[in-house]
Amino acid sequence: MTGAFLTFEGIDGCGKSTQLRLIASQLRLRGLEAIATREPGGTALGTRLRAALLDAEESVDPLAELLIFAADRAQHVKTLVRPALESGHIVLSDRYADATIAYQGAGRGFPAELVAQVVELATGGLKPDLTLVFDLSVAECLARTRRRRTDTGSLGDRLESEDAAFHMRVRDAYLELAQREPERVRIIDASGSVDETHVHVTEVVTEFLEKNTGARSQEPE
């Protein structure tokens, strides 16, 4: 049996990580084997690469950045994602290859063909079965990340500190991906409350699992 690979994407501050946690615990309550992971940083090596990539004080050359995200992904796919899918698990990843297309392709300006080659090399062609793109205006996302920084007293990471024009290119790239691959990439309106967005995510994920894996939900007690 093979599992299902679901990825969660969107610009920084869109709320995808909260939504991933909520749906993962809901799937587990339904008795499904759901593994929550992320990029960068889903493995032990990835945790170290993530720290280097996101350190606001680090100056990282754009090509080095592209290749470090790819190295993180190669390790993640080989040692965690593929084995989990082969064991029949549902893998929920907070970001995956579409993030490289959006951030390093549209954001940094690397040519699409080069980004596609790097993605292919790192993933061995493994594509998500379903990708949720949490969509929200750049202004609202920036306001959310600013609030989070104030609340936690953190500096914010290197990529989320890019300017609004960068984040607009990233958002447009995600919207374009959804237009190009409407079956796989679904847009989730992330402008409502956490609960409202969770209801929408539950609908889309449940419908997908029922159609594609035969997984049947059992209502939590």
Interacting residues toward ligand TMP by CB under 6 A: 12, 38-40, 54, 69, 94-95, 99-100, 103-104, 159-160
Rank residues 96 and 208 by Cβ distance to ligand TMP and give the closer one. Answer: 96
Distance, in Å, from the CA atom of 49 to the CA atom of 51, rounded to the nearest integer, reads 5
CA dist 142 → 43, 117, 127, 149 (Å): 28, 31, 29, 11
Rank residues 93 and 215 by Cβ distance to ligand TMP and give the closer one. Answer: 93
Q: How far is the CB of 34 from ligand TMP (least distance, A)?
A: 19
Residue 127's CB is within 10 A of a number of other CB atoms, namely 14
Rank residues 54 and 168 by Cβ distance to ligand TMP and give the closer one. Answer: 54
Rank residues 3 and 105 by Cβ distance to ligand TMP and give the closer one. Answer: 105
Q: How far is the CB of 69 from ligand TMP (least distance, A)?
A: 4
Can you spell out the DSSP letters for 44-57? HHHHHHHHHHH-TT
Rank residues 99 and 188 by Cβ distance to ligand TMP and give the closer one. Answer: 99
Q: How far is the CB of 185 from ligand TMP (least distance, A)?
A: 16
Q: How far is the CB of 104 from ligand TMP (least distance, A)?
A: 6
Which uninterrupted H or E stretch holds 63? helix 62-76
What is the per-residue burial (b if ≥16 Cβ within 10 Å, else e) of 77-88?
beebbbebbeee
- CA trace torsion 33, 133, 20, 88 (10° rounding): 10
Radius of gyration of the chain (CA): 17
Rank residues 118 and 215 by Cβ distance to ligand TMP and give the closer one. Answer: 118
Query: For residue 25, which of 82, 92, 77 has the smallest C-alpha distance?
Result: 92
Q: How far is the CB of 47 from ligand TMP (least distance, A)?
A: 12
Q: How far is the CB of 190 from ligand TMP (least distance, A)?
A: 13
Half-sphere exposure at residue 102, Cβ-oriented, CA atoms within 13 angstroms: 24
Query: For residue 43, which of 89, 93, 99 has the smallest C-alpha distance?
Result: 93
